[in-house]
């Protein structure tokens, strides 16, 4: 039986067949188009390909050109780098050779003498003459001197204990302000010229001896009282103000400045040596009476150590560091000093004793009992004590009664009072002028004077005075002993000539040795200078002296300021061990 197919299915099949044929035809056309392009298409493709090839060729050429330039530049860079490397190598070699002559910065806390750098000053004639021109431009020709008498006067003195090997400075400069002192220091620092300060010139231990020649800085034009603060009890002065002149001015306002060293001393030198004087028993030394300092350092830098209040906890105490430094760390150009009220009543008395020991024991007991006596001084030839009493009238009477009683218990033979102010001044002057009294006994111009001092604890004072007196007598030298015995400090004044030099050396050496063994000091107020340098190690120990040397190196690395004072910077024999 024939199969009958519905018309709808037939129509659907025909439609699908036509769609399938159309899809196949579409596929064949696409493939053919890929294989056989039109002329326009082929032209477009050909042009695009050519442009692409040309661009590739151009890029290749550029790369080759750059490569060639790079190779040429590489040669130049290589040459430059080679030059830089060679220069660097030379620099390294020279740096290494230079490092061999420049020691590495020290890392230890002290500076032993063997490690201290040898001072290298330029005192050549050409350098010094060139400096003269600069000093004249700074100060004026009238304040720069090369006169022979000036150079000699600034080298030593007849009362100095340092007599041998004295040099003279090349010139003397006379500044008038801190700024001028700073300018002097800058010139010397740049030219490596050593400087020596000069104030009153009354020092005894060779403090102003110009051991390296160079320039002497004389402060005599800086002699002004700058400011007086009466309500604050302080005064600002320049270094060439004399303590006696200062007290004459202060007396008008009922004030006074207690430190009272030898006649003619000036504030600059008094600060430098840390002096005291006859009033030290009651008022203390210079260290207690300086509030602040203006100081010019070795390179010309100007510093002020502190302000004016009576006390301060602000940092290191630079004020007291410069006191007693003898111009080796910096030059003082201004000092702010404490003042006190002048006592309402004063009295001076003299008491004699059969022996120096009796007199010394009297002093020890007076001080041990806390009697507020102003001063006690001793003269040894006819053992005599000079007393100064100060305070209210009733207080002075009480002090006198107590001291007379103590004196009698130690065989006091007399106790006489000055009957007027003039007589009191005359009596006290006898003590203050002991040095000149001994110098007046010189046999001829070949005699030298040696004034030295030590200090010991009060309990050992009588012992050391008696021993030194016996030693002086046995030596056969003409001499005298005086002292500020109220604070355990006494002086020995010797006359000797060249033949007797060794004997004098022995007396002084044994006196110092005794003091150190008694836990005393090699100098109570004169300072170290040149004479006492080698005794410091025995008193303080090597490490302490080495620490002082480090301080010197820190503030004055070129060793320009008062070289060779306080501590040695070169061995005696010039050999470093």
Query: What domain range is 171 assigned to?
Result: 112-342
The residue among 102, 120, 153 that closes a domain is 102
| pLDDT 10s digits, 521-540 | 999 999 999 999 999 999 99
Judge whether 37 lies within some domain: no
Judge whether 542 lies within some domain: yes
Residue 160 vs residues 149, 201, 323, 478, 508: alpha-carbon distances, Å: 18, 9, 21, 17, 15
For the chain, how many structural domains are there in total? Answer: 3
Judge whether 15 lies within some domain: no
pLDDT at 345: 87
pLDDT exceeds 60 at position 1 = no
pLDDT exceeds 50 at position 252 = yes
In terms of domains, do 161 and 90 share one? no
| pLDDT 10s digits, 195-246 | 999 998 988 898 999 999 999 999 999 999 999 999 999 999 999 999 999 9
In terms of domains, do 522 and 375 share one? yes
| 340 contact partners, CB below 8 Å, separation of at least 6 | 233, 255, 256, 257, 258, 283
The token pair that represents 123 in the structure block = 């005192």
Distance between CA atoms of residues 525 and 492, nearest Å: 13
In terms of domains, do 317 and 371 share one? no
In terms of domains, do 548 and 401 share one? yes
In terms of domains, do 93 and 173 share one? no
pTM across the whole model: 0.80
The residue among 306, 324, 342 that closes a domain is 342
In terms of domains, do 211 and 234 share one? yes
The residue among 342, 369, 400 that closes a domain is 342
**Strand runs labelled E in 125-224:** 144-145, 171-173, 195-198, 215-218
| pLDDT 10s digits, 170-180 | 999 999 999 99
Question: Average pLDDT for residues 282-293, to the nearest whole number?
Answer: 95
Looking up residue 490, the CATH number of its domain turns out to be: 3.40.462.10
In terms of domains, do 362 and 222 share one? no
Question: Average pLDDT for residues 31-43, to the nearest whole number?
Answer: 44
- 249: exposed, middle or buried (Cβ count in 10 Å: 0-12, 13-18, 19+): middle
pLDDT at 420: 82
* pLDDT tier, 25 (very low <50, low <70, confident <90, very high otherwise): very low
In terms of domains, do 270 and 377 share one? no
Judge whether 472 lies within some domain: yes
pLDDT exceeds 80 at position 21 = no
| pLDDT 10s digits, 355-408 | 888 998 898 899 889 898 899 988 877 888 999 998 888 998 899 999 999 999
pLDDT at 107: 84
Angle made by CA atoms 326, 328, 330, in degrees to the nearest 5: 100
Distance between CA atoms of residues 427 and 421, nearest Å: 10
In terms of domains, do 458 and 528 share one? yes
Judge whether 299 lies within some domain: yes
In terms of domains, do 260 and 145 share one? yes
Sheet-wide strand order for 225-229 = 225-229, 234-237, 331-338, 290-296, 302-304
Looking up residue 124, the CATH number of its domain turns out to be: 3.30.465.10
| pLDDT 10s digits, 443-499 | 888 899 999 999 999 889 889 988 999 999 999 999 888 888 888 898 999 999 999
Mean per-residue pLDDT over the chain, rounded: 85
Judge whether 31 lies within some domain: no
Judge whether 159 lies within some domain: yes
**Range in 263-272, 302-311, 396-405, 424-433 the model is least confident about:** 424-433
Distance between CA atoms of residues 351 and 110, nearest Å: 49
In terms of domains, do 213 and 91 share one? no
**Which of 457, 458, 456, 438 shows the shortest CA–CA distance to 448?**
438
Judge whether 233 lies within some domain: yes
Full DSSP string of 275-300: ---TTHHHH--GGGGEEEEEEE-TTS
In terms of domains, do 382 and 317 share one? no
pLDDT exceeds 70 at position 574 = no
């Amino acid at each position: 039986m024939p199969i009958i197919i519905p018309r709808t299915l037939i129509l659907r099949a025909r439609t699908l067949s036509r769609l399938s044929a159309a899809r196949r035809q579409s596929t064949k056309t696409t493939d053919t188009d890929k294989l056989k392009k039109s002329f326009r298409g082929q032209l477009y493709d050909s042009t695009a390909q050519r442009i692409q090839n040309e661009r590739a060729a151009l890029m290749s050429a550029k790369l080759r050109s750059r490569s060639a330039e790079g190779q040429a530049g590489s040669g130049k860079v290589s040459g430059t780098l080679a030059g830089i490397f060679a220069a660097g190598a030379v620099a390294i070699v020279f740096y290494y050779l230079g490092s061999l002559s420049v020691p590495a910065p020290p890392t230890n806390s002290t500076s032993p003498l063997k490690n201290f750098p040898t001072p290298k000053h330029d005192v050549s004639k050409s350098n010094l003459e060139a400096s003269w021109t600069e000093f004249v431009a700074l100060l004026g020709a009238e304040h720069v001197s090369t006169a022979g008498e000036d150079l000699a006067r600034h080298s030593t003195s007849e009362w100095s204990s340092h007599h041998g090997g004295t040099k003279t400075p090349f010139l003397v400069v006379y500044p008038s302000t801190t700024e001028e002192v700073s300018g002097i220091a800058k010139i010397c620092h740049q030219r490596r010229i050593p400087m020596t300060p000069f104030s009153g010139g009354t020092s005894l231990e060779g403090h102003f001896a110009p051991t390296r020649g160079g320039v002497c800085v004389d402060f005599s034009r800086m002699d002004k009282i700058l400011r007086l603060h009466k309500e604050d009890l302080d005064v600002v002065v320049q270094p060439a103000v004399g303590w006696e002149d200062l007290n004459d001015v202060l007396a008008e306002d009922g004030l006074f400045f207690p430190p009272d060293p030898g006649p003619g001393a000036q504030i600059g030198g008094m600060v430098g040596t840390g002096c005291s004087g006859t009033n030290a028993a009651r008022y203390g030394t210079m260290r207690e009476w300086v509030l602040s300092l203006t100081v010019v350092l070795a390179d010309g830098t100007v510093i002020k150590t502190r302000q004016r209040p009576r006390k301060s906890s602000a940092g290191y105490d630079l004020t007291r560091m410069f006191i007693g430094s003898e111009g080796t760390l910096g030059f003082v150009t201004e000092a702010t000093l404490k003042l006190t009220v002048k006592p309402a009543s004063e009295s001076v008395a003299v008491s004699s004793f059969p022996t120096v020991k009796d007199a010394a024991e009297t002093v020890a007991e007076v001080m041990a009992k806390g009697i507020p006596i102003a001063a006690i001084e001793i003269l040894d030839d006819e053992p005599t004590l000079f007393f100064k009493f100060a305070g209210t009238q009733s207080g002075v009477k009480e002090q006198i009664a107590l001291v007379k009683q103590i004196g009698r218990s130690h065989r006091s033979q007399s106790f006489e009072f000055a009957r007027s102010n003039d007589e009191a001044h005359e009596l006290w002057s006898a003590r203050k002028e002991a040095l000149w009294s001994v110098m007046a006994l010189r046999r001829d111009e070949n005699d030298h004077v040696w004034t030295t001092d030590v200090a010991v604890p009060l309990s050992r004072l009588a012992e050391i005075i008696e021993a030194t007196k016996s030693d002086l007598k046995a030596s056969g030298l003409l001499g005298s002993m005086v002292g500020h015995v109220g604070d355990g400090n006494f002086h020995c004044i010797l006359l000797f000539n060249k033949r007797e030099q060794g004997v004098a050396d022995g007396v002084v050496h044994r006196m110092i040795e005794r003091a150190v063994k008694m836990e005393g000091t090699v100098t109570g107020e004169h300072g170290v200078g040149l004479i006492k340098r080698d005794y410091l190690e025995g008193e303080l120990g090597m490490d302490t002296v080495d620490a002082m040397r480090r301080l010197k190196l820190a503030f004055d690395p070129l060793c320009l300021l008062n070289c060779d004072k306080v501590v040695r910077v070169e061995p005696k024999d010039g050999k470093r061990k």
